[in-house]
């Protein structure tokens, strides 16, 4: 990502990126990004392990091969988000709006690599209208 510099916080930088900007190979582990409001960014191979994204508006964002394990997304708006080949193990997705969200895989050529994993993710009280799962590991039985 060519937009990041050391003068602003990661939250300020992400909020200032233009529509559809690509963020690649950035590590946000453990950061406080609560109430983030980016403009439909494309995240590729980024790490958000244990990050605080509560009440963020990530509508239309795309995550490809990203690690969101143990991420705190409670109350976030994830309308139309795309998660392809992502790790969402033990992520907190309670009270999120997942309307039209897509969870899918990425063809890495070596199965089972490239599958999205939602094992132990919490979906309590989430809005799941038109949510789609395709080649995903750990889907809760209520979505099958």
> Which tens digits make up the pLDDT trace of 75-97?
999 999 999 999 999 999 999 99
Model confidence pLDDT, tens digit, residues 23-70: 999 999 999 999 999 999 999 999 999 999 999 999 999 999 999 999
Dihedrals phi, psi of 30, to nearest 5 degrees: 70, 5
Strands 62-64 and 82-84, by their bridges, are: parallel
Residue 1 above 70 pLDDT?
A: no
Contact 74, 92 (CB under 8 A): yes
Residue 5 above 60 pLDDT?
A: no
Sequence-distant (6+) residues with CB within 8 A of 124 are: 94, 95
When pLDDT is averaged across residues 102-116 and rounded to a whole number, the result is 88
CATH number for the domain running over 18-139: 2.160.20.80
Whether pTM > 0.85 for this model: the answer is yes
DSSP conformation class of 112:
T
Contact 28, 6 (CB under 8 A): no
């Amino acid at each position: 990502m060519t937009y990041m510099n050391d003068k602003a916080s990661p939250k300020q930088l992400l909020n200032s990126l233009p529509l559809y900007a690509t963020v690649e190979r950035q590590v946000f582990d453990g950061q406080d990004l609560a109430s983030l409001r980016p403009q439909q960014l494309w995240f590729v191979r980024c790490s958000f392990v244990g990050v605080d994204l509560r009440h963020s508006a990530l509508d239309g964002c795309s995550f490809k091969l990203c690690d969101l394990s143990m991420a705190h997304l409670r109350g976030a708006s994830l309308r139309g988000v795309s998660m392809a080949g992502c790790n969402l193990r033990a992520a907190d997705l309670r009270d999120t709006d997942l309307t039209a969200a897509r969870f899918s895989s990425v063809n890495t050529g070596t199965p089972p690599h490239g599958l999205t994993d939602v094992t132990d993710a919490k979906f309590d009280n989430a809005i799941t209208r038109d949510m789609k799962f395709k080649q995903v590991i750990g889907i809760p039985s209520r979505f099958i």
